[in-house]
Every structure is written in structure tokens, then in C-alpha cells.
Amino acid sequence: MTSSSSSSFIHNLPNTFPKDALSIITSQDPIKRIVKRALQMQTQFIKKMGNQIFYDLGIHPKYPLAKLLPFRDALYMPKQMSNFFWYLASFYTIAIEVPTVPLHTTIQLYQDRPEFRPACETQMNTLTWFAEITRWKQLLDQEWKKIKGDRATFMTFSISLNVNNACPLKCYTVFMISLNCELIGNTPNFHPKVEFTSSETPLREDSPVYRRLQKLMFPENIIIPDEICPPPTENAPWEILPDGYMLRLTRKLDYYHTKIAPIIGDPSPFYNFNPNLNHNPSPNLHQF
């Protein structure tokens, strides 16, 4: 990139982006840079805030996109936290979980009460990277309306909460977000979408719904983990044939070579099926 194009692009970057945003976007390996910066910030958070921040924001160094990140409803968000979301969402599509009603309320305060704006400015600036505040409010309102008919819309402090008498604070919405930072028209582009709503509690990492979300995040980022599709030097699960299945096919091949091959004059040798296809390759077997 030329210096003139860099200069043109920097004027289109929001001043709420991290200070190193331009150097990352224009670097030769931006994804490597953003993961490194996100891991550095994660270390700082854990050092200052301990276990809970590790549970909330502890990302995998190889697959940071696989983590559902909580977007807190507190009025005040540190700028470092905002930067953390930028690093991950600048080139990845990531999933964030927001408390539907509290965030909707915070947005309402930001719009209607000027005295609250300084407190929640960083949080609102972060949201506007992806969509206008009015759009976020509309999406959250839509999600709440999907379930409010089955639940109380007032605060309750009952110890025993059931589905029909639950606090609206227990409605959480999961968004997939991305900035898609590409130098196309010198402007980052993004269109947020709602993936699904959890109407009771935040998603737990051991829940089936959380795993379903992870399965969506990898194709969303056009990534196939090596653990799912291993390199050619290693066997994949689908390359190892079950014993009973191999036995049945071997018997069919035995029939062919003893009954059919002599009649049609097929000189090819007989191959036993081997579960380790990579280490004992058979051209005829692969053709079969």
C-alpha cells in the first residue's frame, strides 16, 4: 500500500479504534497481529482482575473465534476492553452474548439522558463500530418481544424462578459480529445479525447449545480446524474403516478374485483392506 492510500484510509477510520488499528489492517499478516494483541490484553486483564475475567475472556491462542464473549451491561467499559473486542472482530467473525434488557436500557439512557453519556460512551462507541445505536436497540427489542409473552416483564427477587415468572435480566441475546476490515473503498463494512436468543441464563460452555454455536463459528470464518481435518501424514477418523465393514468388503473382493477375475482375465492382485490407508496405500483400494 502506498503512503497516499494509507493517508486516505486513516481519515475513514473511527478515532475510537485502537491506536494501532491502521498498522494492523495494512500489515502483511493482520490476523497474526490481532491474535497477538488480543492475547496480550487477555494477560493484562487476568493479571488485574483474576479468575472471572479468565473465564469470560479466556480465548484459545489458535482458535480465538471459538469463544463466546460476554458483552457486559455495566455503564462503564474500559477502553482496553473495547480494544480487545476490536482486535478479535476486525478480521474474525466472533460471537458475543449480551443481556438483552439491561443493554437495551443502557442504550435508552444514552439516547435520552445526556448526563449518562460520559459513563457509557466507550460501550456505545464499540457498538457503533458494527451498527448504529438505533439498530442495536431495534434488534434487542425484537429479541425481547420474542419471549416476553412467556415471562414477567418486571423485576422479581424470588429465590425460586421458573420460566413463567423470571427476571427479564435473564434474557440473553447472542450476536455474530465482524468488522471485515478490508481496504475496499477505504471503509470497513459490517452488517450484524442475531444468531439466537437464550431466554433463561447465559450459555454454559458445557451446554449443547454452546457447542452448536461453536460449530457455526468455524464455517462462518471459513476455517476447518486441523483436529477435524488432519494433515496428510496423519489418519483422519473417516480413513479408518470399521472392522466388520472391512471384513464384509474383503469377502466380496475375495469372491471377485476367485470367481470373476479368472473369467474376464483380470490380472490385478488381491488387496486386503487395511485400516491404516495412509501408511499402507493401495492404488486399487483408493479407486474402489
Residues 262-285: tens digit of each pLDDT: 888 888 776 655 544 444 443 433
- Report the pLDDT value the prediction gives residue 152, as an integer from 0 to 100: 41
- The residue behind cell 448504529 is 132
Distance between CA atoms of 9 and 26, rounded to whole angstroms?
A: 10
- Report the pLDDT value the prediction gives residue 222, as an integer from 0 to 100: 87
- Report the pLDDT value the prediction gives residue 192, as an integer from 0 to 100: 56
Q: How many CB atoms lie within 10 A of CB 17?
A: 21
Checking if the pLDDT of 251 tops 80, the result is yes
C-alpha cell read off for 245? 465393514
231 CB-near residues (< 8 Å, 6+ apart)? none
Distance between CA atoms of 20 and 30, rounded to whole angstroms?
A: 11
CA 62 to chain centre: 13
Distance between CA atoms of 271 and 151, rounded to whole angstroms?
A: 65
Instruction: Work out the average pLDDT over 132-160.
Output: 65
Distance between CA atoms of 98 and 127, rounded to whole angstroms?
A: 11
Higher pLDDT, 83 or 180: 83
Checking if the pLDDT of 114 tops 80, the result is yes
Checking if the pLDDT of 86 tops 50, the result is yes
Nearest one of 144, 122, 132, 146 to 192, comparing CA atoms? 132
- Report the pLDDT value the prediction gives residue 284, as an integer from 0 to 100: 39
- Report the pLDDT value the prediction gives residue 150, as an integer from 0 to 100: 56
- Give the strand pairing for 94-99 and 172-177: antiparallel
What is the band of 54 on the pLDDT scale with cuts at 50, 70, 90?
confident
Instruction: Work out the average pLDDT over 59-66.
Output: 91
- Report the pLDDT value the prediction gives residue 111, as an integer from 0 to 100: 92
Distance between CA atoms of 251 and 284, rounded to whole angstroms?
A: 16
Distance between CA atoms of 13 and 96, rounded to whole angstroms?
A: 23
C-alpha cell read off for 276? 491404516
Distance between CA atoms of 248 and 254, rounded to whole angstroms?
A: 10
- Report the pLDDT value the prediction gives residue 84, as an integer from 0 to 100: 94
Higher pLDDT, 23 or 190: 23
For the chain, give the percent of residues with pLDDT over 90.
Answer: 18
C-alpha cell read off for 118? 460520559
Checking if the pLDDT of 74 tops 70, the result is no
Higher pLDDT, 246 or 118: 118
What is the band of 64 on the pLDDT scale with cuts at 50, 70, 90?
very high
What is the band of 24 on the pLDDT scale with cuts at 50, 70, 90?
confident
